Amino acid sequence: MHTRLMLNFDTRRTLPTLLLIDDDMVSREVTATVLTMSGYAVHTAVDGARALDMLAGGEFAPDVILMDAQMPGISGTDLISKLRAGTRARVFAVSGSNPPEDLAAAADGFLLKPFGVEALEKLLEGHPLPDAPLRSSRLDLNDAVISPETVAQFRGMMSEAAVREIYSAVIADLTKRLKALEVAIAKGDTPEIRRIGHAIKGGCGMAGAIQAARLGALFEETPTDTESNHLDNSMALLSDLRTAARNLERMLEAELPA
């Protein structure tokens, strides 16, 4: 759900985009309404699984995530870890009581329910957002998803079914490597990020999957200085790589239908 009311608020402020995750419908909708009326662009998710799907789908790029501390399904520190693998957003826990110590340590901050806009803004002041350049996409939409020359070469050597099998295998491998990248980024494991990037660049490059190969090359170039903002950039690249994988799937269905 995306809520944005065109109200007469101070448009001079640049407010972050929020993702609110709360399984309680009343709490979720009331909070979303209050924040929207204060000028925030608010997206909502009924649970952690839906939030992760929204992020993976690239529907929007939140700056801040507010997540209820106790929800069924994926929640707590596990959810925070998965959220950090897919977004550069600050993650704040929200609860009606003090959260467990491990959750408080994993989150960037904590808000006690019920909270007002002033409490959120005070929290944000202590946790400034990353610089805007981190939000820029590295996915070049002018790049072909698949090299026409490579596809033509494959078609000259094998049947359509065999060509489709090759690209199905590429997509399956890319899906596995996306998950591995999520884990490596969450751990800040730069050598593993570079290794996976190298594999993506090589495999997708051989198959002519241009977008994915170029993004793999960028992962391979991740600097080893983990104190810089390069791990945050890796999160943005991860979102781009998911988009490239979806583009590859759509191209496969269009060019080589089963």
Can the peptide bond before residue 114 be classed as cis, meaning omega within 30 degrees of 0?
A: yes
Maximal CA-CA distance, the chain: 65
Tens of pLDDT, residues 5-17: 323 333 334 688 8
Which comes out higher in pLDDT, residue 43 or 104? 43
Q: How far apart are CA 139 and CA 61, in angstroms?
A: 15
217 CB-side CA count, 13 A = 11
Q: Mean pLDDT, to the nearest integer, of 70-79?
A: 87
Inter-axis angle of helices 190-207 and 210-220, nearest 10: 160
The reported pLDDT for the residue numbered 135 is 39
Cβ neighbours of residue 27 under 8 Å, at least 6 residues apart? Answer: 68, 113
CATH number of the domain at 2-129, please? 3.40.50.2300
Q: 95: which 2 tokens?
A: 């609860």
Q: How far apart are CA 9 and CA 78, in angstroms?
A: 37
pLDDT of 46 over the 90 cut: yes
Q: Mean pLDDT, to the nearest integer, of 231-255?
A: 81
Lowest-confidence region among 66-80, 97-111, 164-178, 241-255:
97-111
Q: Mean pLDDT, to the nearest integer, of 84-106?
A: 83
Q: Residue 127 — pLDDT band, cuts 50, 70, 90? A: low
Q: Residue 142 — pLDDT band, cuts 50, 70, 90? A: low
3-state secondary structure (DSSP) of residue 170:
helix
pLDDT of 138 over the 80 cut: no
The reported pLDDT for the residue numbered 13 is 47
CATH number of the domain at 148-255, please? 1.20.120.160
The reported pLDDT for the residue numbered 247 is 87
Does this chain's domain 2-129 share its CATH topology with 148-255?
A: no
pLDDT of 109 over the 80 cut: yes
Which stretches within the chain are classed as H helix? 25-37, 48-56, 76-86, 101-106, 117-125, 148-157, 160-187, 190-207, 210-220, 230-255
Angle at 244 between CA 157 and CA 239, to 5 degrees: 155
Which comes out higher in pLDDT, residue 88 or 220? 220
pLDDT of 228 over the 50 cut: no
pLDDT of 249 over the 60 cut: yes
Length of the chain, in residues: 258
Show me where the domains of the chain are located.
2-129, 148-255
pLDDT of 233 over the 60 cut: yes
Q: Residue 77 — pLDDT band, cuts 50, 70, 90? A: confident
Q: How far apart are CA 68 and CA 70, in angstroms?
A: 6
The reported pLDDT for the residue numbered 140 is 64
Nearest-CA neighbor of 165 among 214, 207, 212?
207
Lowest-confidence region among 130-134, 146-150, 192-196, 242-246:
130-134
Provide the residue type at 137 as one letter: S
pLDDT of 227 over the 50 cut: no
Instruction: Order the strands of the 64-68 sheet from edge to edge.
Output: 2-3, 41-45, 17-21, 64-68, 90-95, 109-112
